[in-house]
Amino acid sequence: MKSKELSHYIFGIADNALILGQRLSELCGHGPTLETDIALTNIALDLLGQTRTYYQYIANLSTDGLTEDDVAFLRKEREYRNVLLVEQPNTDFAYIIIRQYFFDVFHYMFLKELQKSKDVSLVAIANKSIKEVGYHFQFSGDWVKRLGDGTDESHQKAQQALNDLWVFTDELFHTSEIDKSIIESGIGVETTSFKENYYIQISNLLKEATLDVPEIQYFQEGGKQGIHSEHMGYILAEMQHMQRTYPNMKW
């Protein structure tokens, strides 16, 4: 029972990395320049690599012989626990960068706390991942500044993306009842401890980028409970296609 709860908690971390990694990998070969294309694909690979370490851990915890591929490719939409933010589409480069920045800052602060977890496996994953994520938020933060403080058009597109994606930020900090028991046992991360800091850091960078911080107090949620946006089904259809068509196939 204990390991089931822990798996539930880890899905809440790992599925964000999986779905954002999948979203970014859609851009492989389509980036605005060769250099940004490679950078975004590198980030996608980092995230998918991190996902694997979490899923391997979940596979180890499982008593019914689950593999990392099973949990990546054979769950149903309702069983994925990623936040709505990471499934939002690659509308344009500004959306990609703002989505990335919102996630990266959270991800970095989260991993920093996870390094103090009582679970040694999660600490090891956090120690490895945080070096990669430290670069991710430098990359996305630099681009937020360039777009916001760039041309009139880039500023307007960045502001638009910011206004549209802002409503998805609050969900990053949500926790389920099961999550709470894992957090109380010292394994999970108390996200409220850095929430204020998160919004301060984001707002400071947005100001530097000459962008307006939205004053929206209404936030979207649902992904963490498995209730996803209309985009999620399409992501899974593409991602799961090979395993569903050729069950148990291997590379």
Binding site for another protein (CB under 8 A): 32-35, 38-39, 42, 135, 138-139, 142, 146
Give least dist CB 228 to another protein, A. 31
Sign of CA dihedral 35, 39, 44, 50: positive
Which residue lies nearer to another protein by CB, 49 or 222? Answer: 49
Nearer to another protein, 108 or 139 (CB): 139
Q: Could you tell me the smallest distance in angstroms from the CB atom of residue 35 to another protein?
A: 4
Q: Answer for the pair 44, 132: CB distance below 8 angstroms, yes or no.
A: no
Nearer to another protein, 12 or 141 (CB): 141
**C-alpha closest to that of 179 among 112, 225, 245:** 225
Distance of closest approach, residue 125 Cβ to another protein, in angstroms: 20
Three state DSSP letters for 133-173? HHHHHHHHHHHHHHHHCCCHHHHHHHHHHHHHHHHHCHHHH
Nearest approach, Cβ of residue 88 and another protein (Å): 23
**Which residue, 38 or 200, has its beta carbon nearer to another protein?**
38
Contacts 24+ apart (CB under 8 A), 226-230: 226/77, 226/78, 226/79, 226/80, 226/81, 227/78, 228/77, 228/80, 228/82, 228/84, 228/87, 229/84, 229/87, 229/88
Query: Distance (Å, rounded) from C-alpha 133 to C-alpha 150?
Result: 25
Instruction: Write down the least CB distance from residue 31 to another protein, Å.
Output: 11
Measured from the CB atom, is 113 or 142 closer to another protein?
A: 142
